[in-house]
Amino acid sequence: MRKISLFIILISMSCFSQNKQLLYNFTSVPQSMLTNPGSDVNYNWFVGIPLLSGFSANVGSSSFSVYDLFANNGVDFNTKLRNVVFSTSRNDKVTLNEQLEVFSGGFKLGDWQESSYFSFGMYQEMDVLTYMPKDYAILALDGNKDYLGKVFDMGDLNARGELLSVFHLGYHKKVNENLILGVRGKIYSSIFNVSSTKNSGYFYTIQGTNNVYDQVISANGLVNTSGLTNYLENYSGNAQSDIMKKTLLGGNLGLGLDLGFTYYPKENLQFTASLIDIGFIKHTKEIESYRYKGYYNYVGLTPDFVLGNSNDILDEFNDAIPLDTLHTKYTTWRPLKFNSSIQYSFGDGRSSDCNCSGGNKIKYANSVGAQLFAMTTPRTPLMALTAYYRRQIFESLEMKATYTVDSFSAKNIGLGLSTTIGKVNFYILADNLLEYKDISKARSLGFQMGLNIIFPDKNTFD
Amino acid sequence: MNIFVENVIYKYITIMNKFLRITFLSVFFLSCSSDLDFEQVNDLKLEPIAVANLAAFDIKANQFVVGGVEQSLVGDVMDFDVFSDVDFSKNLSRVDLFFEFNNTINRAYNVNFYLLDDNNSKLYTIPFFVPANSGSPIVISKTEIFENTKLDILIKTKKVAFVITMLPGTPLTDASVGNLKMRSSATIYFLGQ
């Protein structure tokens, strides 16, 4: 039970770094095409088992773990909370990303001499990223009494969350022996979106002269929401049916593009790179935004003994910094992901009795490489560097081991296995394996698995 | 969408979700976890302490003279429904009101600060005596603490008033110099559970 609630907590506060370092370039898994449309993936045709072909979840927090807050160690919860808040910075983040492939498939175009492929599918994605609202947390824990002179940064509120479905169609082609180019078009249908990423303003209290304090609030805050208005007030519809409609292109729509390539300068040397989710969503339906903007220098009550025209401080405040509810369209950009890798392969992986003349798929049993990942965020981009080793253990079993350094962890070891027995491909990938010995202390966890049916590519005539 | 198709899709989703969850959790259960206690959330106590201005005024000596006639009694009533707000008041544990007078006029004053309800009835009075200035500036300060049952007085307060009575002394004229200044603040102790 404890683990289930832990899991729920992890999911609900989780940080999905979106770095799929195990899946990237793991070409025996068709879903690796979602991380690079120009992956060197070959098939005659494949189909993902609906809802089981691709599931991935990442949870993470750059500054604290579940253990830090909820350890049953006799320390008062409020002390632990204070320790967490005061040990984090405003740039620490909590992110969650979950993807569930609803359906997917692909087929080769033309005959055996051709080498261009179509792939398509639809997946649902949840994406949450929130920065630590540190100055707000300090105000909630301590108030301003002991912070005279401190300028509280209202920009510390920076969060976004979205649930969307993605329909995609990709094409990749072996342009020549050394180069594979790929492109994928996407249509996004946003089920709901909340974003508040461009807040600014400040609040300070200092010793005053004519007043006890000089107190100033300058606020410029905006929270955009779409797809939620129906549920905020008396909702009488069928939420399940609503979400289904929004999933099937009935939500707020957007367009996106993935680009990628694989290049072999030499037979055993490989470069890859991709840009994923160059795209935007236009929010035009069920939109409601809240704006909080203004400047207020608070002096308190000012009695007027001559004319009796004294001030009303609540009115004054509400006039100076009104809270407006708006219904204006807005556009959000999808988090743009950049992946690249370099890989060197060695060792003869062909079984000795094999006289196969074509196909270089199992030519090398071992590969080592490095990957770089970057993703845009409302502040500085997330970066991750990975070193990896890939090995074809049997013809039907491929393994990839990774070591990743990023802002969540400096010792993230991951392992992925992909097995193809007959036509059935099963893969399971998990990172931060060291943390599984005490999962409550993990700051991030990533997990992916899926099931496909693959009819292998035939590049000989038969 | 066709109801039948919708039902079939839901059924499939339910079954597949179950399968997915079982696989996912079985991997998850292979791991270990320290002893955790999520009930601790109920121990959460927020006890911030906020400081804010309450009121301030600055009356020049000659403002006590209107048309050559000395005004020995001045006052003003102001709306003040901050502490009576329910959401605000239920999380209050203590409020300190701090007042500081600075008198550079050669006259003494009695100043009363009244907490009033909606009907202008007095709920509480904080009195001050500010002596006359005869050379060096006069600074008088006082802190009034509202907690426990006394806090209820503040919560009932809808208006406040300052009433200033100038005590007899050397008459003031239009040419008189000096000021009677007051500044005050509130220190608010919250208790959120």
Q: What residues are paired with B113 via a beta bridge? A: B126, B162
Total CB pairs under 8 A between chain A and B: 180
DSSP state of B2: -
Residue pair A401/A376 in contact by the 8 Å Cβ criterion: no
Is the pLDDT at A17 greater than 60, yes or no? no
Higher-confidence residue: A73 or B13?
A73
Cβ neighbours of A410 (radius 10 Å): 9
For chain B, 193 residues long, give each residue's pLDDT as a single digit of tens.
567 777 776 777 677 667 666 666 665 555 666 777 778 888 888 889 999 999 999 999 988 888 888 888 888 999 888 888 887 888 899 999 999 999 999 999 999 999 999 899 999 999 999 999 888 888 999 999 999 999 999 999 999 999 999 999 888 888 888 999 999 999 999 987 6
What's the average model confidence in pLDDT over A314-337?
Answer: 90
A304 to chain B: nearest residue by CA?
B76
Kindly list the domain boundaries of chain A, sorted by start residue.
2-455
**B44 Cα to chain A: minimum distance (Å):** 6
Q: Are strands A179-196 and A159-176 parallel, antiparallel or unpaired?
A: antiparallel
| Residues from chain A contacting residue B1 (CB–CB below 8 Å) | 244-245
Helices A2-12, B3-29: inter-axial angle, 10-degree rounding: 110
Q: Is B33 within 8 Å of A211 when comparing Cβ atoms?
A: no
A chain contacts of residue B29, beta-carbon cutoff 8 Å: 3
Cβ-nearest to A301 among B55, B74, B164: B55
Query: Who's near B27: CB < 8 A, 6+ residues apart?
Result: A428, A430, A447
Q: Do the Cβ atoms of A208 and B187 come within 8 Å?
A: no
Which of A51, A67, A314 lies at the smallest CB-CB distance from B81? A314
Give whole-number Cα distances, A284 to A128, A324, A336, A429, in Å.
Answer: 21, 18, 22, 38
Whether residues A211 and B183 touch (CB distance < 8 A) is answered with yes
pLDDT surpassing 50 at residue A15 = no
Q: Is the pLDDT of residue A239 over 90?
A: no
The CATH H-level superfamily of B45-190 is icosahedral virus (2.60.120.660)
Q: What are phi and psi of A85, to 5 degrees?
A: -60, -45
pLDDT, tens digit, 9 for 90 and up, residues A341-381: 999 998 876 554 444 444 444 578 899 999 999 998 888 88
Determine the pLDDT at residue A462: 53
**Residue found under tokens 């301030």:** B56
Q: Delimit the domains of chain B by residue range.
A: 3-32, 45-190
Q: Which residues of A touch B163 (CB under 8 A)?
A: none
Task: Give Cα separations from A256 to A128, A224, A335, A359 (angstroms).
Answer: 19, 21, 11, 33
DSSP one-letter code for A126:
E
Fold of the domain spanning A2-455: Porin (2.40.160)
Contacts of B190 in chain A (CB under 8 A): 143
Q: Determine whether the interchain pair A440/B74 forms a contact, defined as Cβ–Cβ distance below 8 Å.
A: no
Contacts of B56 in chain A (CB under 8 A): 210-212, 299-302
Instruction: Mutate one of A64, A212, A431 to test the B interface: name it (highest B CB count within 10 A).
Output: A212
Tokens of A429: 């990938």
Q: What is the pLDDT of residues A440-450, one digit of tens each?
A: 777 777 788 88
Beta-bridged to residue A182, according to DSSP, are A172, A260
Torsion of CA A229, A233, A237, A240, to 10 degrees: 60
pLDDT tens digits along A139-179:
888 999 999 999 999 999 999 999 999 999 999 999 888 99
Would the CB atoms of B52 and A81 count as touching at under 8 Å? Answer: no
CB contact under 8 A, B36 and A77: no
Report the gap between the CA of B10 and the closest CA in chain A (Å).
10
Q: Provide, as residue numbers in chain B, all residues whose Cβ is less than 8 Å from the Cβ of A51.
A: 12-13, 16-17, 20
pLDDT tens for A243-275 read: 778 888 888 999 999 999 999 999 899 999 999
Nearest to B38 among A9, A303, A449 (CB): A9
The pTM assigned to this predicted structure is: 0.80
